[in-house]
Chain A
Amino acid sequence: MKIGRIIMLSLLTFVFCLPQVFASSVTIKGSTTVLPIAQACAEAFMNQNADVNISVQGGGSGVGIASIIDGTADIGDASRPIKDKELQKAVARGVDPKAHVVAMDGIAVVVHPSNPINALTIKQIKDIYTGKISNWAELGAGSGEIVVISRDSASGTYETFYKLALDKAKTRPDSLLQASNQAVATTVARTPGAIGYVGLGYLSDALKAVDINGVTPSKATVLSGEYSLSRPLFMYTDGKPKGAVKEFLDFVLSDRGQKLAGEAGYIGLK
């Protein structure tokens, strides 16, 4: 009995002391695309500011924005801008979502390294994804059925691709759905007839990125705006950020934070 009481007491003391140990805490939730940036920045930030505790979670852009509306997070990560329906919900709850662009992401169209094709136009990409072109022979690149690989239609990467490359046309129903950038990269690297799209951070020697409308996907072409398949990445806050949240966002946008975003495979704004 006595031991139980001692354990109870020490547990209670521990729980009540936690807020004193970490003077302030910041919760970040949302897009898995933004997650690596948030994570790298949070670690570096906490090393400098021992009194701030930052917890970073994934979940997806929808979760990120919902957590700002519900007030369950201080920062909501999203790889797409807020939607009208979400904005209405936010207004109804008295929440004022503020967007902060923290980095750029380029989407590269990739094929198997053995594929002779080096460049495609946006129109050809659209035709491949809608099913108008279904054999590599039609593009003069050997022969064989094109295996079209796409992302789950709710992901931020898909949404950007669907707006920028497909002009909101429907992908062929038998296109393969993969649940992450990494899964697309793995599948394309192992399937000679495949075409897919991934964030620039996921390019490797196992994949071949094609030029789009004559522009090679790279940091320089994304930042200059020449490369068409690129998108901003957001961190949302409720109203103007204050206190630790503001300090953290300032850190993300600082030279150091932007360098970390670059190391995570994205394109820093500077």
Chain B
Amino acid sequence: MKKAQLKENLYRWFFGLFAFSSLIFLVGITIILFKEGLPLFKEINFFNTIAGRYWYPTYEPPEFGMLPLILASFWVTVGALFVCVPLGVGSALYIHELAGDRQKAILKPLVEILASIPSIVYGFFGMVIVAPLLQDWLNLPVGQTAFTGSLMLGIMATPTVCSIAEDALGFVPKGFREASFAVGANRWQTLTRVVIPAAGSGISTAIILGMSRAVGETMTVLMVTGGAAVIPKSFFQPVRPMTSTIAAEMGETVIGSTHYHALFAIGLILFFITLVFNIVAEFISRRFRIKLGLGR
């Protein structure tokens, strides 16, 4: 009896360790980000960094203006929303509300396959196929632009948005629909006036998580956005988001230098952005569940 209990405790500890290891990783990453990122602001004024317009990290004297990088991430993410919201929410609505069982059986796995394509494949596809096409069609000097990045990121974020939005639609209690049909509403009216408002905050969560996916994506934007560190004037100009700056420069920089700390500081900013996105998403989805009477 005692041996069995000991064994059980042992297993408990063992798996508990696994469960808590992700917490350890999170804490470790956060500590390192702060430890390596904050020294930058000792050397350079925080405001000058965030609002600086020029990123020349290896010149004498170096300039660490992150505004072009932050704005580029912002632009590309907003652009991606214009692609992934209609596509993702639209396909979730179709799959959940309109598609028959056979279509559903084909469409759902297909969307999930889209999510499992590695980002470097999207990047390669964007660089070799999409960018030259856009360059020809729109008569641009170069095809690697914020628009190209938005397009690729939007396609990449679509499965995330679609599957979470579909879950949200699934949470809408059956009674809502039945009540709507009962008072004589047709399918379209039920969908637009009952189901979508009821699932609204769930869909918002889906969109925010899609944004969080887009803003943190690295390989694809590195390959398709061109990488010019300027404040973008139009969507059809090359830009350099924060993630691609870190990816391109980290391997070659002198470890412990100001430039190295600056790259960690960018990582810190990105970390905060995605953290806020995830907190907001969590907050909205909690309210959504309470609203539908699912509790928590």
Contacts and interface: CB of A to CB of B under 8 A. Distances in A.
Interface string B68-98: 1000000000000000000000000000000
25 contacts: A32-B251, A62-B254, A63-B255, A85-B254, A145-B141, A147-B141, A147-B142, A153-B249, A158-B58, A173-B228, A173-B229, A173-B230, A174-B237, A174-B238, A176-B227, A176-B238, A177-B227, A178-B227, A179-B222, A186-B127, A187-B127, A187-B144, A190-B135, A190-B143, A191-B143
Contact of A177 (B54, B229, B251): B229
Nearest to B131: A190
Given A168-B60, A173-B54, A152 B141 contact: no
A170 B56 CA distance: 8
Given A66-B255, A152-B248, A193 B238 contact: no
A191 B141 contact: yes
B247 A179 contact: yes
A121 to B, nearest CB: 23
A148 to B, nearest CB: 9
A23 interface: no
B253 interface: yes
A96 interface: no
A177 B240 contact: yes
Interface residues of B, number: 40
Contacts of A85: 254, 256-257
A217 interface: no
Given A66-B255, A174-B238, A193 B142 contact: yes
Contacts of A124: none
Interface string A136-154: 0000000011010000111
Given A176-B226, A178-B227, A186-B128, A155 B252 contact: yes
B141 A144 contact: yes
B141 A193 contact: yes
Given A154-B57, A187-B142, A62 B228 contact: no
A114 to B, nearest CB: 14
Nearest to B63: A170
Interface string A148-188: 00001111101100100000101001111111000100110
B209 interface: no
A154 B247 CA distance: 11
Residue of B57, B238, B249 ringed by the most chain A CB atoms within 10 A: B249
A115 to B, nearest CB: 13
Contacts of A153: 56-59, 249
B170 interface: no
Which one of A65, A176, A178 has the highest number of Cβ atoms from chain B below 10 Å of its Cβ? A176
A123 B223 CA distance: 30
B259 interface: yes
A61 interface: yes
Interface string B10-35: 00000000000000000000000000
Interface in B217-233: 222-223, 226-230
B173 interface: no
B228 A156 contact: no
B135 A83 contact: no
Contact of A190 (B55, B132, B227, B259): B132
